[in-house]
A and B are shown apart, each in its own frame.
Chain A
Amino acid sequence: MRRKGIRISFSLLFAMAGLLFFAGPVSASGESIGSCVVEKLEHIMEDGHHDGHADVEHLFHSLHAKEGATEEEQKAVKKNEDKLESCLEAPSPIIPELSEVIWGGGAFLILFVVMVKKGFPAVKAAMDARADKIRDDLDAAEKAKTDAQSVHADYEARLADAKNEASRLIDEARGAADQVRSDLVAKAETDVSEMKSRAASEIEASRQQAIADLRAEVAGIALGAAEKVVQSSLDDDAQRRLVDQYIDEVAGS
């Protein structure tokens, strides 16, 4: 990582140094307006040599048509004016000078080669590392999301379990409470009915006992009275009859 950064820095430094190195020659190849005019004027003066005219005079005549000059002479003056005016024209903004193309192309090629050889691998490595890192991060994020989802699902499941458990416990408790209540009610009913039946049987027993006691008492009183009546009514004749009757029964048996 650190080495990649160093390599990228070196590449950039190298490219800037190349740019400065080649900047001199490129600017040197350009022409000023003055030198252009001088060059054109020299061309016109050389043309005058061919015609055999004196230099300055020729130059003057070349640029100023005399009165009554021929059409051919006017054309020549016009042609020279155009030549000089061409120096005032700006260079084409689109099509560069050939030398600029050569220098620029060479510099570009060198820089391109350097960049391809040195810069691109470094950048590619850095980009790859970054892409890997991002991919790893994305994977990690995905994994974290999946984990979070699974944890969430787990919690949901646990929550649902807890809810089910709670409702089950509540149902159980309710069922147990119902059971206890019905048991208690049943037991109370049983107790009540037992007590009722016991009370009824006790009452019945008491009644029977009272009846028996009363009957015994009545019988006792009646028999006591009967005994007294019998005793008082048994006179000598009756006693004699009873004894005779007894003797007869014994004799007859």
Chain B
Amino acid sequence: MADNAVAGYADALFAVAEANGVLLTVEDELFRFSQALNSDENLQATLDDSSLPVDRRQQIVEDLLEGSACPTTKALVSMVVASGRSSRFSSIVDAFIERSASSRNKTVATVRSAVELDDSQKDKLVTALSGATNKDVEVKVVIDPSVIGGLITEIGDDIIDGSVRRRLNQLRENFR
């Protein structure tokens, strides 16, 4: 039910962005906003707070996105918040990105890294992941300091974890 709703919203976002011809921009801006939302619990709680009037919450996200996002992105985020689905926002965005990537015959790989990757690294990573999965892979990089070093790649349900965090966790397990 919820997944159907998520897929429905993702389809709607995709349709709107494609119709406006700003699919890539919207995709990028929604991904960034989703990351920002995930890392900011206060913002999440505020947007989920049903005691606040809907237009107040819409106003908050519009203010946040003012100047840093295109109007389409702003409108779409505002719509999701108005519909009371902000708690599922990251799922909707993930589904939207998958949908968008598959429209370009590509698979999305979410890569978590402690540091920003330069373009040559991204290209090599795309090539390596495409070769490993036999799919045309599109990389979305998420900056996550908790990874410490190395990378964590999620492609669909698969996770390729080569992070220092994992090694430290393994070490911790060995100590027990």
Residues of A within 8 A of B (CB): 212, 215-216, 218-220, 222-223, 226-227, 230-231, 234, 236, 238-240, 242-251, 253
Q: Which residues of B contact A245 (CB under 8 A)?
A: 150, 162
Determine the residue in chain A with the shortest Cβ distance to B114: A239
How far is B173's CA from A215's CA once the two chains are assembled, in angstroms?
Answer: 11
Q: Which residues of B contact A227 (CB under 8 A)?
A: 148, 168
Cβ–Cβ contact A246 & B148, under 8 A: no
Q: Which of A226, A231, A236, A250 has the most CB of B within 10 A?
A: A250
Interface bits B47-63 vs A (CB < 8 Å: 1, else 0): 00000000000000000
| Cβ contact of A246, chosen from B127, B162, B175, cutoff 8 A | B162
Determine the residue in chain B with the shortest Cβ distance to A223: B172
**Provided the pairs A238-B149, A243-B117 are in contact, do residues A250 and B125 lie with their beta carbons within 8 angstroms?**
yes
Determine the residue in chain A with the shortest Cβ distance to B175: A219
Q: Which of A220, A242, A249 has the most CB of B within 10 A?
A: A242
Q: Which residues of A contact B153 (CB under 8 A)?
A: 250
Cβ–Cβ contact B128 & A230, under 8 A: no
Instruction: Return 15 A-B CB contacts under 8 Å, by A number.
Output: A219-B172, A219-B175, A220-B172, A222-B175, A223-B175, A226-B168, A234-B164, A242-B150, A242-B151, A243-B115, A249-B162, A250-B125, A250-B153, A251-B128, A253-B132
Q: What is the number of contacts between chain A and chain B, taking CB atoms within 8 Å?
A: 72
Determine the residue in chain B with the shortest Cβ distance to A212: B176
Cβ–Cβ contact B149 & A234, under 8 A: yes
Determine the residue in chain A with the shortest Cβ distance to B161: A246
- B137-176 contacts to A, CB under 8 A, are 148-151, 153, 160, 162, 164, 168, 171-172, 175-176
Cβ–Cβ contact B148 & A231, under 8 A: yes
User: Is B104 close to A, CB under 8 A?
Assistant: no
Residues of B within 8 A of A (CB): 113-115, 117, 121, 124-125, 127-129, 131-132, 148-151, 153, 160, 162, 164, 168, 171-172, 175-176
Q: Which residues of A contact B176 (CB under 8 A)?
A: 212, 215-216, 219
Cβ–Cβ contact B115 & A236, under 8 A: yes
In the A-B complex, the 5 residue pairs with the smallest Cβ-Cβ separation, listed nearest first, are: A219-B175, A251-B128, A246-B162, A250-B128, A242-B150
Determine the residue in chain B with the shortest Cβ distance to A240: B121
Determine the residue in chain A with the shortest Cβ distance to B152: A246
User: With A230-B149, A247-B121 given, can you name 16 additional A-B contacts, CB distance below 8 Å?
Assistant: A218-B175, A222-B175, A223-B168, A223-B172, A227-B148, A230-B164, A234-B164, A239-B115, A242-B164, A245-B162, A246-B150, A247-B124, A247-B125, A249-B162, A251-B124, A251-B128
Cβ–Cβ contact B148 & A251, under 8 A: no
Q: Which residues of A contact B149 (CB under 8 A)?
A: 230, 234, 238-239, 242
| Cβ contact of B128, chosen from A220, A231, A247, cutoff 8 A | A247
Determine the residue in chain A with the shortest Cβ distance to B150: A242
How far is B124's CA from A245's CA once the two chains are assembled, in angstroms?
Answer: 11
Tell me how far the C-beta of A210 lies from the nearest C-beta in chain B, rounded to whole angstroms.
Answer: 15
Tell me how far the C-beta of A101 lies from the nearest C-beta in chain B, rounded to whole angstroms.
Answer: 158
Determine the residue in chain A with the shortest Cβ distance to B129: A250
Cβ–Cβ contact B151 & A243, under 8 A: yes
Tell me how far the C-beta of B131 lies from the nearest C-beta in chain A, rounded to whole angstroms.
Answer: 6
| Cβ contact of B151, chosen from A212, A215, A223, A246, cutoff 8 A | A246
How far is B167's CA from A234's CA once the two chains are assembled, in angstroms?
Answer: 14
How far is B114's CA from A219's CA once the two chains are assembled, in angstroms?
Answer: 24
How far is B148's CA from A240's CA once the two chains are assembled, in angstroms?
Answer: 12
